[in-house]
Amino acid sequence: MLQLDNAFFQCMKNTLQEDFEQYKASFDNEPFRGLRVNTLKTDAEKLASILNIKMTKTPFYDEGFYIDNNIKGLGNHPLHHAGAFYLQEPSAMSAVSALEVQTGDKVLDLCAAPGGKSTQIADQLKGSGLIWSNEIVGSRAKILCSNMERMGITNSVVSNAHPDVLCSKLQGYFDKVLVDAPCSGEGMVRREPNAVTEWKEENRSVCADRQLKILESACKALKNGGVMVYSTCTLSGEENELVIDKFLQSHSEFKLEAISKQFGRPAYTHFCDNPEITLARRILPCDGGEGHFVARLRKCGDEDCYVGELKLKPLADDNMFREFWQSQFNCDHGRLTQIGDSVIILPQSVPDLSGLHILKCGVEAGKFVKNRFQPEHALYMASKCEHLKNVVELDANDPLCTQFLKGAEIPCDKKGYCGVAVNGMVMGFGKASNGMLKNHYPKGLRIL
């Protein structure tokens, strides 16, 4: 029940003004729930058919869909383990739409965990260019790595670095930069009602100061002519319109641009004197998604800065890896390098990584262990069935799927390393002998 005498809602009334009545009415309805199709793995029609659920398109992203709140267990579904979809609040997809990623772009997602927007960017890149995902909190960065791996993304770098260190080192490198800034989270109150009791108005100014500092760092990494999108999931004008207005006042080389995809409503003019602020967009629950703010900015500076390219370290045992590859795969393995005992398949273009805390770059193919090459889970997640010479094909409703995801051995009439696929999408691998497949699905990902 909405309590209008609550300090939070009184503040919302001042913030939203004439939109407050619509906002208040939205609390009579359930929060929105959505998923985004990973087109690197499948398409919406096939996904809906296998999941046997109704999927209705959202206005925020072409591959984003509303799903019913009563649907249970999708996080444990074999297709989720295979990376066929990402469970994501619908309006959270709007920021990447505003970025308008093109194939071949080099894109930085500066505040990336848990990875919804990074994996969405990768989906648009279609394996080309580069998606660099950064997260300053170490525990969240590990979750980010896991999601990038699950979605089968090959052209990525994941770092755990301070934004200013990262952006200073990569000055002028990126075509697009996304700053989905940490915020007070006011837009998510319908999903998390308890947040109202924990809300404090003074958190707005603390968040706004941090957001402006992140933007000051982010703009360094953007090349001349590039696009930066700033987004939050808060309703606060102090963290939205005012942050953008303050940034523009100190950065004449940036200008606001219209967002071509139509969603939400114009940003508010009652927070600042800049009439162009209406080019940014606000999303309220009555617009089909939880609260969000999105602004698109273009850099119009005079000079680009460039960074050096990564120098490749050759494999210590090239023959051992190539023998493994030729026996297991029927596709090109791409650019290779070696870090310690690990063999890495790199994206086509990677900047100099020295001095940065890198957690993941490209795909970790596997490790040299004594006199043999041992493949990693990431290698199979980044592969398609047609890439593999040995693969066990299962249906999502087959009990063997659940057994495999629990870590059990399953029957297999093949020999050696073998991919395991569900409805044509690889979800892991094992090693077959004597009619059984020894399970190599990572313990931390298994169904309990």
DSSP for 17-32? GGGHHHHHHGGGSPPP
Adjacency order of strands within the sheet including 34-37: 56-57, 64-66, 34-37, 85-87
Which DSSP helix (H) or strand (E) runs through 192? none
Token reading at 201: 């108005």
Buried b (16+ CB within 10 A) or exposed e, 156-178: bbbbbbebebbbebbbbbbbbbb
Peptide bond into 59 cis (omega under 30): no
Tell me how far apart the alpha carbons of residues 89 and 67 are, in angstroms, rounded to a whole number. 10
Give exposure, 36-73, as e/b (b: 16+ Cβ within 10 Å): bbbebbbebebbbebbeeebeebbbbbbbbbbeeeeee
Exposed / middle / buried, residue 247 (Cβ in 10 Å: 0-12, 13-18, 19+): buried
| Strand pairing class (265-266; 174-180) | unpaired
Which of the residues 233, 401, 412, 418 is marked catalytic? 233
- Angstrom distance (rounded) from CA 377 to CA 375: 7
Residue 152 backbone dihedrals phi, psi, to 5 degrees = 75, 35
Q: Is the dihedral of CA 60, 65, 69, 75 positive or negative?
A: negative
Cα–Cα distance measured from residue 136 to residue 251, given in angstroms and rounded to the nearest whole number: 25
CB proximity list for 71: less than 8 A, separation 6 or greater: 33, 53
Give the rounded distance of the alpha carbon of 250 from its chain centre.
Answer: 30
Query: Does the annotation mark 233 as catalytic?
Result: yes
Q: Which residues pair with 345 in a beta bridge?
A: 336, 363
Catalytic residues, by residue number, are 233
